[in-house]
Amino acid sequence: MKREWRGRCSLQQRRLEFLHSSPKNRPVIGVQKPNHMSQQSRNKGASAPSSLHPSAILDHAIAAHRSGNLSDAERAYTTILKGSRTHPVALHMLGLLHAQRGKFADAEPLLKKAARADPGNADVLFNYANVLRALDKTDDALAWLAKVIALSPNFAGAHLNRGAILLARKELHGAIAEFDRAIAIAPSSAAFANRGSAFQQLGRLDEAHGSYQSAVELAPSDPQKHFALSEVLTQMGRDDEAIGALERTVALDKAFPFALSKLVASRRKRADWRSFEREQAALDEAVESGVVVDPFTFFHASSSPAHQLTCAKTYVANVAPDRGAAIRKTPSPVSRLRVAYMSADFRSHATAHLMAGVFEEHDRERFDVSAISYGPDDRGEMRNRLKAAFERFEDVSHLTDEDVAKLIRQLDIEILVDLGGFTAGARPKILARRAAPIQVNYLGFPGTMGASYIDYIMADRIVIPEAEQQHYAEKVIYLPDSYQASDARRPLLPNAPARNRVGLADDAFVYCAFNRTSKITPVLFDVWMRLLTKTAGSVLWLLDGEPIARENLRREAVARGIGAERIVFAPPVAADEHLARHQLADLFLDTLPYNAHTTASDALWAGLPILTCLGTAFAGRVAASLLNAVGLPELVTHSLDEYEGLALRIAHDSELRTALKSKLATNRTSWPLFDTIGMTRHIEKAFNEMWRRHCAGEAPASFAV
C-alpha cells in the first residue's frame, strides 16, 4: 500500500512527492506528480559545489532527489544544514529522503525540526505526521494531522490519513467520518477503498460493496481495488463475481499477494478444473519467484516440502515478520509448568473435537493449562465443555495482537501451543511478538510455518521423516505412534440410518470420500471413475457442497463415461449423524496430495476402513500415520496404481472387507490411535523436555518422546 507525502522545495513552493510502500493493512493513498523544476537543477549526476549559494545547492539537491540520485541529494541537503541547522526546506527534504528509504527513525527528528521551524506549512506538518504513523506513534500522528486540518480544512490527504489510523485502530465509525470528509473534498479511489474496508469490518456489506465499486471505477487498473472488491463479494456469497474480480486482479498483476492462491482455492472449491494444470504451474512458479501465496491453499496443492517451506517463509516475511526477541525465563522449582493453547476454533470444530480429551486429561498437579481463544463463540455444547476443561479460558477476540501478546506474558505462560498455524482465522502476528519463551506449532496446520519465532513442531516419523527435517523451520518433536490427538470420550455411534433414507441403494457397493471438494484432483478423480467402471453396481458417496460443485463433479463423471446418478451427495447433518452414516459405506477413498485428517479419524472411529496413498509432504502422509497407529498398515499404498489395485481387490472380496472391518473394530480400543490418556502423557513429556532444554540454556533441538 501507499502513503502520500508532500514536499515544499523552495520559496516558489516547488513540490517533490514520492511513493512509499506500507504494511498490508495500511490504506492506498494517492500521490501527486512533482511540479516543474528549474533548468539549472536538472543536472542529475554532478555534485553541487559547497561554494554555491544555498538556493543553488537546494535546486541541485532537489533535482538529484527527483531523478533518484539519493546519495547526491543527501550530501547537498547536509551541506546546506551545516551552514544553517534550521533551514526548514533542507530539514524537510532530508527527512523525506530518509522516509523514502524506510528510515523513519532518522526522518522523525528532521521533520520535527522542520515542523517547528515552519509551523504554518501544512505540507511539512502532514509529512511529519506520516512519519509518526510509520513509527506506530499513532496518537501523536492524529494530533499533528488535526493541526494540518486546522491550517488547511480542505486538505483531503490529512482526512484520509486520519481515517487510515482510526481504521487500523478499529475505530471504524470515526474512520468512516474521515473518509467521507476526504471524499467530499476530493473523491479518490483510496478514500473509497478504505471506507469500504471500514464498512466491511462493521458487517455492512452492501455499503462496503458500493464503496469498493466506486474505488474500482476511479482506478480500474489498480489490482488492489479489484482484490478488495473480490473479498467483499465472497463474503456476500456472490462467488461468480468474486472470481471475476480475482481474475482481473491476476490479469493486472500476477504477483499481487494472495490473488492467485485465492483464485485457485475458489475454483477448486467448485471443482472447476478447466485450468487445473495451468493454475498448478502458476502456483509453483509464484512460490519460487517470491510471490506471497496463502500457505494453507498451497499446502493443499503442493507435494513438495521444500516448496512449502519457501511459501511459508515468504508469507511470514510479508505478513507476520518477527517482532520480538526470544524470552529467557527461569521457573520456580516448585511451580507448575504454565502451558497455553491458542486457537480460533474453541467451538464445534474439527480441532476441538480432536483435542478436547487432551485438555481434560492434563495432569493438573504438574501443568497449569490455559486457553487463548480469539475465534467466535458459538455458545454450543463443545464450547461449554472446553471452558470447563481449562483452568482459565481467555476470550481475546476483541483484543489487538499486541494486547494478546501482553496478556500471555502477564499470565506468565511458558509454553504456547498454536493450534491454528495459517488456517482460517489464525493470528500468527501474536506469535511474531514472542508472546512466550517457547512457541509450538501443533495439529491444526499440517506443515512448517517457516517462522523463526516458532521453536517446535509436534509430529511423528511418518508425517515428517527424519531425512526431511531440513524442510521445516521448526525443530521436530517426534511423538510415538501418531502425532494426531483424539477424543476417546466421543459418544457411541447411534444406529445408522437406512440406506434408502440417504440416497443409497441397498445392494450398491459404496465408495465413500468425505473430504472437502477442494482436496479432489482430476488425476484422483480419474482413478475413482475407473473404480466405478470396474465395480458393478457401485457408487461414489461425496460430501455435498456448493450446487456448482455438484454440477461440475457430475459433469466430470459423465465426461469419463460414468452416469451422473452414480455420484451421490451427503448433505450436512449434525456431527453424531455424520459419524453414524459412515457405517453405510464399504470403503473410504482418501485424497492426495492432501489427505483426510480429522475426517480420517472420524471414519476410523466409526469403523470404516480407509485406503490411502502415501504422499511426499506432511499433509499427504496423515492418513498413513493414523492407519499405522490403529494397526492397519496394509491399507497404506505407495502409488496411485497400487491404490487403485487394492481398492478393486477390497471391492471384489467380501471376506477381505469383513476382515478389515473386524480388525478395525478390535484395534480401535486396543491400539494407540484413540488412547487419549496415553497421547496426553506423551505431549506432557514433550513439554517437559522443551522446558528442560530452555532452562539449561540449550537451543531448541529435535528430539523423540
* Half-sphere CA count of 130, side-chain side, radius 13 A: 35
Long-range contacts of 670-674 (CB under 8 A, 24+ apart): 671/629, 671/630, 671/631, 672/480, 672/481, 672/482, 672/629, 672/630, 673/481, 673/482, 673/484, 673/486, 673/601, 673/604, 673/626, 673/629, 673/630, 674/486, 674/488, 674/605, 674/630
pLDDT of residue 60: 86
pLDDT in tens, 654-683: 999 999 999 999 999 999 999 999 999 999
* C-alpha grid cell, residue 212: 469498493
Beta-ladder partners of 338:
368
Burial class (CB in 10 A: 0-12, 13-18, 19+), 323: middle
Question: Cα 462 vs. chain centroid, distance in angstroms?
Answer: 26
If one counts every other C-beta atom within 10 angstroms of the C-beta of residue 235, the result is 14
**What is the maximum span of the chain, computed from C-alpha positions, in angstroms?**
100
Q: Find, among 37, 40, 56, the residue nearest to 48 by Cα.
A: 56
Of all residues in the chain, the percent with pLDDT exceeding 90 is: 84
**pTM for the structure as a whole:** 0.88
Which residues of the chain, if any, have pLDDT below 50?
A: 1-2, 5, 7-46
d(CA 18, CA 22): 13
499-674 folds as: Rossmann fold (3.40.50)
Q: Find, among 179, 552, 468, 690, the residue nearest to 699 by Cα.
A: 690
If one counts every other C-beta atom within 10 angstroms of the C-beta of residue 669, the result is 9
Q: Assess if CATH 3.90.1300.10 describes domain 337-478.
A: no
Please list the residue range(s) of the chain that carry CATH number 3.40.50.2000: 499-674
pLDDT of residue 26: 31
pLDDT of residue 48: 52
Peptide bond into 593 cis (omega under 30): yes
Please list the residue range(s) of the chain that carry CATH number 1.25.40.10: 39-232
Contact 474, 449 (CB under 8 A): yes
Please list the residue range(s) of the chain that carry CATH number 3.40.50.11380: 337-478
Buried-exposed string 91-129: b where 16+ CB fall within 10 A, e elsewhere? bbbbbbbbbbeeebeebbebbbbbbebbeebbbbbbbbb
User: Concatenated DSSP letters for 331-383?
Assistant: --TTSPEEEEEEES--SSSHHHHHHHHHHHHS-TTTEEEEEEE-S-----HHH
SS3 of residue 637 by DSSP: strand
DSSP 8-state symbol, 134: H
Strands 475-478 and 703-704: parallel
User: Concatenated DSSP letters for 75-124?
Assistant: HHHHHHHHH-TT-HHHHHHHHHHHHHTT-HHHHHHHHHHHHHH-TT-HHH
* C-alpha grid cell, residue 607: 469403523
SS3 of residue 478 by DSSP: strand
Contact 110, 138 (CB under 8 A): no
Q: Find, among 203, 183, 256, 265, the residue nearest to 226 by Cα.
A: 256
Average pLDDT, the chain: 91
What CATH architecture is 39-232? Answer: Alpha Horseshoe (1.25)
* C-alpha grid cell, residue 33: 506528480
Contact 402, 425 (CB under 8 A): no
pLDDT of residue 149: 97
